[in-house]
Structure 1
């Protein structure tokens, strides 16, 4: 069934139709790449979870050139998170459980010969890095893999900044305060570290900065070091990058170090591509025209930068976060704002349940807007959606017409 956008004004309709086209393309690519994603997960068993700001420019998978569906993401405006939020804690633990079950299923289907061959290949690669590390830095790094691959979670806590003009292009939700962003990310990293100290679950947390002009990462080490990936040549060797990981994160498990390597490699490649593109300033500055209120998964196909401020559902005081999101979007909204709300459905979550969730947050968004910016409410155009968890496809929830 085709989606009816007749309630969307003409000046937005083309953009919304394009958003659905992007969603269809994402779905096709995602489904086509599923076998490759499974292979990637076999070779890189570490679960990687990103905590980041809701800013529409921060597409971590794009920055790192990771396979679609590999990274897990949590969003909140300003990159502010609190382990005391019950919704956040339960969502993270659920994500871990799902990842562990998936890991066990993948392992059970993998032939023992394939597993041994993979371990041999990884050890050969590590042996070559060991030689490189000794030649370049003299470091004596233990690079012997355990015979048994263990499930583990790497958490990357992020903040963002603009090196060119942070007062205009930085984090608007934090009033462009870089130091506050770094403080938030480091504080949350410590919260995770304390929460899992002594736990049987292997969780390791680190801090990355996301520079939005050229989209390079800034790496913060365990001992306060700070390294900028923009300073590394595009053809930097794996050995040199592995040395960097060992220098910054000496207590990180070896398997995680190995699985973090492609993230750094992808970002160096991506950042250099962006730098060569010589983008105009307008593309680096806030220009979002969608306010999204939903979990991260329903919106993962919005892969065009600077399109949506996606308010997560983690903060118990959601009205406060929606208000901040409106403050970010409204200056860009000369003709109005699309209010995007969405929920996923599958065999465990019915369409009816997902429909109620999406419509509830659509109402809440309008209620907060009515109090915070009443003149704007009539220029907010609701776009409540159902998202098929398997295909990632959008379906518009049409309003039911009242009977005469």
Structure 2
């Protein structure tokens, strides 16, 4: 019996066990040293702006170790760097990287399905052109914030095709590199192709982008061996709100909403609608869903106390939105609140 078909209480128990196992693995000496070694070899920090859609899991799609890529999620990948919390969070992340003498690659994504328009992005009413256009608007905002010279912060627009988990890179000259069209024979030519697509990208950033693309090439090959009839459809059975969910390193489990939009109720409503649709279509059991709010903290004491208050607020806020707009669905809601230690990635229920 697969995880999706289990009763809700068993799914929740399985999920929290997954979080415990992830923390234990993340904090192990071997994993700690592996991350240190990876960052020493590939010092560019990688931030990814992406949709809350559970099928969009860049670390898995690129075979990248957990803890390397920092995600920012919202409905449809819709962002505005004028949003106070988002702009400050992004600026703070870049400032920490710059102070260590490193560069930042900001990957701005949209997603679509080559097999069906209606497996695309619901946030943009399944219009890929609109989703793609929005990513270029975000790119312009990143440049307005960090400069157009791209010497320190490089904004990169990427598509994500969900049927095969393939990455598409949009070059500065309008050319698109679709990893689904690459073959094993193209591996040796990827670095020259990147130089052609992004002549203004610092060499170190190109070198650090390359492992993600090679990993994506390997991942696509594995995906093509699978039967993905259900996996390419929405099968999420949980709504996550907040930050600190990179331990959810399995695709299509959760709709993850970052705490960035001034209108936080909108993505919550959309996520609840997807959960309800999943139940009605029989893609997940109709016995319940999980609402999980999380806020990360760096230090014990005041910082953890602040995270606790924030997580509780987000859980109560999201639950109230769902009760108001989806009262029948709300009866099946299992709400949990947690904080997450950035140091150990331990999820602590509160």
- Taking structure 1 as the reference length, the TM-score comes to 0.79
Cα distance in 1 for residues equivalent to 2:306 and 2:86: 21
Q: Where do 1:3-402 residues align within 5 Å?
A: 11-32=7-28, 33-101=31-99, 103=100, 151-167=102-118, 169-197=119-147, 202-238=152-188, 240-277=189-226, 279-295=227-243, 298-333=244-279, 334-347=286-299, 349-397=302-350
Contact 2:97–2:103 (Cα < 8 Å) also in 1 = no
Secondary structure of the corresponding residue to residue 217 of structure 1: strand
Contact 1:173–1:328 (Cα < 8 Å) also in 2 = no
Secondary structure of the corresponding residue to residue 283 of structure 1: coil
Gaps of 5+ in 1: 1-9, 104-149, 398-404
Cα distance in 2 for residues equivalent to 1:386 and 1:257: 35
Contact 1:55–1:310 (Cα < 8 Å) also in 2 = yes
1:200: how far off? Answer: 9.8
CA RMSD of aligned residues (A): 1.8
Per-residue CA deviations over 1:102-152 (Å, capped at 9, x if unaligned) read: x3xxxxxxxxxxxxxxxxxxxxxxxxxxxxxxxxxxxxxxxxxxxxxx521
1:280: how far off? Answer: 3.0
Cα distance in 1 for residues equivalent to 2:186 and 2:295: 42
Structure with the greater alpha carbon radius of gyration:
1
Contact 2:103–2:153 (Cα < 8 Å) also in 1 = yes
Q: How many equivalent pairs are there?
A: 336
1:350: how far off? Answer: 4.0
Contact 1:330–1:337 (Cα < 8 Å) also in 2 = no
Cα distance in 2 for residues equivalent to 1:315 and 1:201: 29
1:13: how far off? Answer: 1.2
Gaps of 5+ in 2: 1-5, 280-285
